[in-house]
């Protein structure tokens, strides 16, 4: 969940005069700094998949959250591409990948699409990371194909619903309003503030430019949200032996931080890191710390 990236901005006048072009240039610059290149492939069934790829070493696929896209991992990927072959797709229904209106968007179906991408890239065994909904999909992948997943990196993952209800849950249950779905620029700015406790600075015109994609996708996003939030993974992941690093921001308003301890109790080979002062998107709010913690975790495997 969440749709924010950190972008460097050099020319203030250009940003205000041509915000969409400035956003594209800033994103491209951030991709280059991370050593990532945009690529695309057709998956079985005709689904178009767009992804970023870069680095060398063991393959690491990173899955973004609800309402987001592949660029959510740019800040942290800069620290990872020197060590791993990093692949960051736009999940089906988001970003530049296909948006089939009537598709199954349950985590298991999304996991099979990610697996199809992995197979198209010749990957038979890989490491998986995921933020929020992406973490739920990563866990589904590991449950369905445990021999193919070497490790899991879960950043405030969805799918564990027995913990105390979050602020998002209280709002959604109480009012029916979803703070993660933006129908206009004002709502997107509110989402931006909701998902992060310590967001990077991004000028207002860039934020408004970034709002356009999730605004266009709002009707489909509502459908996807209902599907994945109705799916609990707790019974399916219990006892899963995949080595797992769980990371949670203690200021997460989207999924209660108590979910981390619940998940740790279900996964026998897991460790939990709780980041103080961090919201729902540790890899954006604390990219260096997130990367360092992950590298230490990988060194233990």
Catalytically active residues, by annotation: 64, 132
The three-state DSSP-derived secondary structure of the chain is: CCCCCCCCCCCHHHHHHCHHHHHHHHHHHHHHHHCCEEEEEEECCCEEEEEEEECCCCEEEEECCCCCCHHHHHHHHHHHCCCCEEEEECCCCCCCCCCCCCCCCCHHHHHHHHHHHHHHCCCCCEEEEEECHHHHHHHHHHHHCHHHEEEEEEECCCCCCCCCCCHHHHHHHHHCCCCCCCCCHHHHHHHHHHHCCCCCCCCHHHHHHHCHHHHHCHHHHHHHHHHHHCCCCHHHHCCCCCCEEEEEECCCCCCCCHHHHHHHHHCCCEEEEEECCCCCCHHHHCHHHHHHHHHHHHHCC
How far separated are the first and last CA of the chain, in Å rounded? 28
């Amino acid at each position: 969940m969440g749709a924010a990236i950190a972008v460097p901005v050099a020319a203030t006048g250009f940003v205000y005069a041509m915000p969409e072009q400035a956003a594209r240039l800033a994103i491209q610059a951030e991709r280059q700094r991370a050593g990532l290149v945009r690529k695309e492939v057709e998956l079985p069934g005709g689904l178009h998949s767009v992804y970023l790829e870069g680095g060398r070493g063991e393959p690491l696929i990173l899955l973004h959250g609800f309402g987001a896209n592949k660029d959510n991992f740019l800040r942290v990927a800069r620290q990872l591409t020197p060590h791993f072959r990093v692949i960051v797709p736009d999940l089906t229904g988001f970003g530049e990948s296909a948006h089939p209106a009537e598709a199954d968007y349950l985590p298991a179906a999304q996991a099979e699409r990610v697996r199809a991408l992995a197979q198209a890239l010749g990957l038979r065994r890989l490491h998986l990371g995921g933020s929020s909904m992406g973490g739920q999909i990563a866990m589904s992948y590991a449950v369905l194909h445990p021999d193919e997943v070497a490790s899991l990196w879960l950043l405030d993952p969805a799918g564990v619903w027995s913990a105390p209800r979050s602020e998002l849950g209280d709002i959604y249950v109480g009012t029916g309003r979803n703070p993660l779905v933006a129908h206009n620029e004002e709502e997107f700015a509110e989402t931006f503030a909701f998902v992060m406790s310590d967001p990077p600075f991004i000028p207002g015109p860039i934020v408004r430019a970034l709002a356009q994609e999730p605004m266009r996708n709002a009707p489909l996003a509502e459908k996807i949200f209902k599907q994945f939030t109705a799916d609990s993974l707790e019974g399916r992941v219990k006892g899963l032996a995949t080595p797992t690093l769980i990371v949670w921001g203690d200021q997460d308003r989207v999924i209660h931080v108590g979910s981390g301890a619940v998940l740790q109790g279900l996964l026998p080979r897991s460790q939990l890191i709780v980041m103080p002062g961090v919201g729902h998107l540790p890899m954006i709010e604390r990219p260096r710390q997130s990367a360092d913690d992950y590298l230490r975790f990988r060194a233990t495997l």
